[in-house]
């Protein structure tokens, strides 16, 4: 691994920023060598190279992190790299117009900071931060955390990208020492969305919490702090809204197309609830609701509608697979 001096490292990060982002960085952030060494999380391992994991890895590398993506097999890693490359090309075309040479250079610059491996244990041994981005299955996540907790450096911070599982429940798989270095970092789809929900548990050390917040800002996010409550902020508001919309559709009150139009034109939303569901992914929404049903069996507003269950069974997950409420 090539090591940069702090000054050169900061400059390399700045060189990757679009002009608007550069001006924002210059206005709001004064990166000194001293603060850089104290707070910066340089080496990041993302476990899970799916839509969210690949996106988190991509924006981390673009900001200047050295990133390792770990997944269960080479096929998953190949798809992960392909997703990143496609997104980077789209972004670079917007930024650099049709300059093919510059677009290629920009894409390769970011990808050069990312390694891919199926050796998950080795991937966490020397990193500063581990981002867990595997499917929303608590047993699967527990098994992963138990495994990597034993081999990661004692100073390594762990974060989870869970969107529905209480962070403190995931922490149960960790040692008491690691719980002090554990937090939730909920990213959004697409991962270019500026928001990052940061969730701490009672054991999270103050220094660790601040490092996670600073890392969020470093990769271009606006972090907001939320208690470890169901759905955190956005999903706690959005999912019941979606359930109400689906219930209206199931009762025959209105078509899903008209509900979307009504909410965009009447309420000023950029997306209607069904468009948003397709964009987020019906699989993600299903997993959130099933998790809530288990924990809050008597709460009607957390029940998963039959329409969502059927679409999940049929593999109609939305935009990511070409078919959801709409066709893509």
Number of folded domains in the chain?
Answer: 2
Average pLDDT, the chain: 89
Specify whether the CB–CB gap between 72 and 118 falls below 8 A: yes
255 is catalytic: no
Tell which of 206, 227, 248 closes a domain: 227
Q: What is the pLDDT of residues 159-202, one digit of tens each?
A: 999 998 999 999 999 999 999 999 999 999 888 899 999 999 99
Tell me: pLDDT of 127 over 90: yes
We report the CATH number of the domain holding residue 275 as 1.10.1040.10
Q: Is the previous residue joined to 74 through a cis bond, with omega within 30 degrees of 0? A: no
Sign, CA torsion 210/44/201/161: positive
Asked if residue 266 and residue 125 are part of one domain, the reply reads no
**Catalytic-role residue among 235, 238, 250, 327:** 235
DSSP 201-250: -TT--HHHHHHHHHHHHHTT-EEEEE-S-TTTTHHHHHHHHHHHHHHHHH
Give the up-direction half-sphere exposure of residue 173: CA atoms within 13 A in the CB hemisphere: 19
Q: What is the spatial distance between Cα 238 and Cα 234, in angstroms, rounded to a whole number?
A: 6
CATH of the domain at 89: 3.40.50.720
Residue 132 and residue 158 in contact, taking contact as beta carbons nearer than 8 Å: yes
Which residue range(s) make up the domain with 294?
Answer: 233-321
Give me the half-sphere count of Cα atoms (radius 13 Å) on the Cβ side of residue 42: 14
Q: Are residues 80 and 220 located together in one domain of the fold?
A: yes
274: helix, strand or coil: helix
Q: What is the pLDDT of residues 223-280, one digit of tens each?
A: 999 999 989 999 999 999 999 999 999 999 999 999 999 999 999 999 999 999 999 8
Q: Are residues 92 and 207 in the same domain?
A: yes
What is the spatial distance between Cα 102 and Cα 34, in angstroms, rounded to a whole number? 33
**Is residue 126 domain-shared with residue 48, that is, in the same domain?**
yes
Position 7 confidence tier, pLDDT thresholds 50, 70, 90 = very low
Q: Largest alpha-carbon pair distance within the chain? A: 63
Tell me the sheet residues that pair with 158. Answer: 130, 182
Within 8 A by CB and 6+ apart from 229, the residues are 236
Residue 37 — pLDDT band, cuts 50, 70, 90? Answer: very low
Q: Does the annotation mark 203 as catalytic?
A: no
> Is 186 among the catalytic positions?
yes
Query: And the tokens for 76?
Result: 């998953």
Residues 94 and 212 in one domain: yes
Q: Which of 51, 163, 164, 275 is catalytic?
A: 163
| Active-site entry in 186, 207, 229, 244 | 186
Q: What DSSP string describes 35-81?
A: HHHHH---EEEEE--SHHHHHHHHHHHHHT-EEEEE-SSHHHHHHHH
DSSP for residue 117 = E
**Does the active-site annotation cover 210?**
no
Pairing assessment for the beta strands 195-200 and 157-160 based on DSSP bridges: unpaired
Are residues 212 and 269 both part of a single domain? no
Q: What is the pTM of this model?
A: 0.83
Given 197, 238, 255, 310, which residue is catalytic? 197
Give residue-wise pLDDT tens across range 46-58: 999 999 999 999 9
Please state, in angstroms and rounded to a whole number, the distance separating the CA atoms of residues 152 and 275: 40
């Amino acid at each position: 691994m090539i090591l940069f001096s702090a000054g050169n490292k900061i400059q390399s990060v700045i060189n990757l920023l679009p002009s608007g982002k550069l001006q924002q960085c210059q206005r709001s952030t004064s990166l000194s060598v001293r603060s850089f060494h104290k707070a910066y999380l340089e080496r990041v391992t993302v476990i899970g190279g799916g839509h969210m994991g690949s996106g988190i890895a991509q924006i981390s590398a673009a900001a200047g992190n050295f990133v390792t993506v770990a997944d269960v097999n080479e096929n998953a890693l190949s798809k992960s790299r392909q997703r990143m490359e496609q997104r980077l090309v789209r972004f670079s075309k917007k930024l650099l117009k049709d300059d093919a040479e510059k677009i290629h250079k920009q894409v390769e610059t970011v990808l050069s900071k990312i390694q891919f491996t199926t050796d998950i244990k080795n991937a966490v041994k020397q990193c500063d931060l581990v981002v867990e981005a595997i499917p929303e299955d608590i047993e699967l996540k527990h098994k992963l955390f138990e495994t990597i907790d034993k081999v990661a450096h004692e100073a390594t911070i762990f974060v989870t990208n869970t969107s529905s599982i209480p962070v403190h429940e995931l922490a149960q798989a960790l040692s008491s020492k690691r719980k002090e270095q554990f937090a939730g970092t909920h990213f959004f789809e697409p991962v270019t969305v500026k928001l990052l929900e940061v969730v701490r548990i009672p054991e999270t050390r103050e220094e660790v919490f601040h490092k996670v917040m600073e890392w969020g800002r470093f990769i271009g996010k606006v972090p907001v702090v939320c208690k470890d409550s169901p759905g955190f902020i956005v999903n706690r508001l959005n999912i019941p809204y979606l359930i109400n919309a689906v219930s209206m559709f199931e009762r025959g009150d209105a078509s899903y197309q008209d509900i979307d139009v009504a909410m965009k034109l009447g309420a000023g939303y950029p997306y209607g609830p069904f468009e948003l569901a397709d964009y987020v992914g019906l699989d993600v929404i299903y997993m959130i609701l099933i998790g809530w049903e288990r924990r809050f069996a008597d709460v009607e507003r957390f029940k998963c509608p039959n329409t969502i269950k059927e679409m999940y069974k049929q593999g109609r997950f939305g935009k990511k697979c070409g078919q959801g409420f709409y066709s893509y």
